[in-house]
């Protein structure tokens, strides 16, 4: 089963913007559910090709994205990573929000990565 160190390494891959490295952590039939999208689960990418596309899309939308203040835990075949997402959007606006990923593991890899993040509203 994956460990906290496994999730720390996965997070480091995100901060290196290393899509190939990230895919090494994923099962062949992996799923990535984004925090935003048209459905209740956001947008779902299924299979290695689509998940790779979804991961690369994060880096395209936020070229300087960073996941800081990581906290991770693993319990059986489930895990969680909490983080602070920072980056610059395409319109030049700065984004800083708290979020987390919920993971389902199978065969020592990530089968499902389901992302959540806070939505910030402008201060009155």
Compute the distance between CA of residue 34 and CA of residue 98 in angstroms, rounded to an integer. Answer: 14
What class, spelled out in words, does domain 4-117 have in CATH? alpha beta
pTM, two decimals, is 0.94
* Exposure string for 39-68, b = 16+ CB within 10 A, e = fewer: eeebebbeeeeebbebbeebeeebeebebe
Integer Cα distance of 81 and 117 in angstroms = 12
The predicted structure's pLDDT at residue 1: 87
Residue 98 Cα to chain centre, angstroms: 12
Query: What per-residue confidence (pLDDT) applies to 121?
Result: 86
The pLDDT of residue 122: 79
How much is the pLDDT for 124?
73
CB 27 within 8 A of CB 34: no
Spell out the alpha helix ranges (H) of the chain.
4-16, 19-23, 47-61
What integer pLDDT is reported at residue 123 of this predicted model?
79
For the chain, the structural domain boundaries read 4-117
**Run means of pLDDT, 10 residues per run, the chain, 124 residues:** 97 98 98 95 97 97 97 98 96 95 98 96 79
């Amino acid at each position: 089963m994956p460990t906290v160190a496994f999730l720390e390494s996965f997070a480091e891959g995100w901060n290196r913007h290393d899509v190939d490295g990230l895919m090494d952590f994923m099962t062949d039939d992996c799923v990535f559910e984004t925090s935003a999208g048209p459905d209740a689960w956001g947008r779902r990418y299924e299979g290695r090709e689509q998940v790779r596309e979804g991961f690369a899309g994060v880096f395209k939308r936020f070229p300087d994205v960073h996941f800081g203040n990581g906290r991770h835990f693993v319990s059986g075949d489930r895990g969680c990573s909490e983080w602070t997402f920072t980056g610059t959007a395409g319109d030049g606006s700065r984004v800083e929000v708290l979020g987390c990923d919920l993971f389902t593991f199978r065969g020592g890899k990530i089968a499902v990565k389901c992302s959540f993040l806070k939505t910030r509203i402008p201060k009155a």
